[in-house]
Every structure is written in structure tokens, then in C-alpha cells.
Amino acid sequence: MLKVYGASDDLIEIEGADLDGFPDEPVLTGTTGKGKGSEELGTCAEDDVMGVVEVGTKETGGCRIRAMYTVCLPFNPGVWALSVEQLEEETPLMWPVRVVEQHQYSVAVEVDVPDGVPVRAFMAKIGKDEVMGND
């Protein structure tokens, strides 16, 4: 199982995958698997930045999880918003997906994905899927 949720106001936790690349590369890549640890994607302290986690491929199917820290004072002092979508039109979602409570400030998206599935994680500007650099 892969689990994605917000931590604090600027980190995304990714459990169930080993990812390589950070902090030298703007994209973390790896695979899912039992016993794999937790990875962090530093992101979302800026208003126009979101974290993106892609599970699977456009050719085989999978999902994209977007995570954004939202603040709307005085009504909302800050919570994480997570969404799930297909990787591309007419591409199947492939695995069951659940939204569960993780913290008082974040839900978690759980994906029942098998071992060995490719995972990519990166920061992007809201409204775009372009990878942001790490400078």
C-alpha cells in the first residue's frame, strides 16, 4: 500500500515507496513495496506550489495525487487538501483508493498498489504539471 499525506505545513509524506533523487534532483523516483519506508517531499509552504505523486504509468494505468496546504483565515487555520485523478484520459485508475483521516490537519490517500510499481514525486506550480527546479 502507498500512503500520501501532509505533515506540518510544508512536507508531504510518502509511505510504502523508496524514492531516490532528493535533494539533488527535482524529481524523486522509485518503486512501491512492502516494508519500504517513508519519504518526504519538501514543498507547499508557498501559496502557488503543490506536491504531485504519480503512481504507475500512462501506458499501464495508475493515478496522480496532488497535495496542497490550504489556509483561509479566519475560517481555516490551515489543512492539507489532497486529490486523486487518472494519469491521462482513458487510462484506468488500476487500484482501489481510499481517503482516510491522518492528522487533525491532513487526510491521507491510500492506494492498494502492488510491489514494484513506478512512483514519481515532484513539486509543481498550481495549474501545471511541470516539474519545478530545485534552485
List pLDDT tens digits, range 31-76: 998 667 778 887 555 667 888 999 999 998 999 999 988 876 666 6
Is pTM beyond 0.95? Reply is: no
Is residue 135's pLDDT more than 50? no
Q: Looking at this protein, which amino acid is placed at residue 40?
A: E
* DSSP code, position 114: P
Residues 64 and 67: their CA atoms lie apart, in Å, by 10
The answer to whether the Cα torsion of 72, 130, 34, 20 is positive or negative is negative
Q: Which residue has the higher pLDDT, 134 or 83?
A: 83
Is residue 102's pLDDT more than 50? yes
Which distant-in-sequence residues (6+ apart) come within 8 Å of 39 by Cβ? 13, 14, 15, 17, 18, 19, 22, 28, 30, 121
Q: Average pLDDT of 73-98? A: 88
Lowest-pLDDT range of 9-23, 29-43, 86-100: 29-43
Mean of per-residue pLDDT scores for the chain? 85
Q: Which residue has the higher pLDDT, 125 or 74?
A: 125
Burial label, 122 (beta-carbon count in 10 A; 0-12, 13-18, 19+)? buried
Could you tell me the pLDDT band of residue 97, with boundaries at 50, 70 and 90? Answer: very high
The answer to whether the Cα torsion of 118, 121, 127, 128 is positive or negative is negative
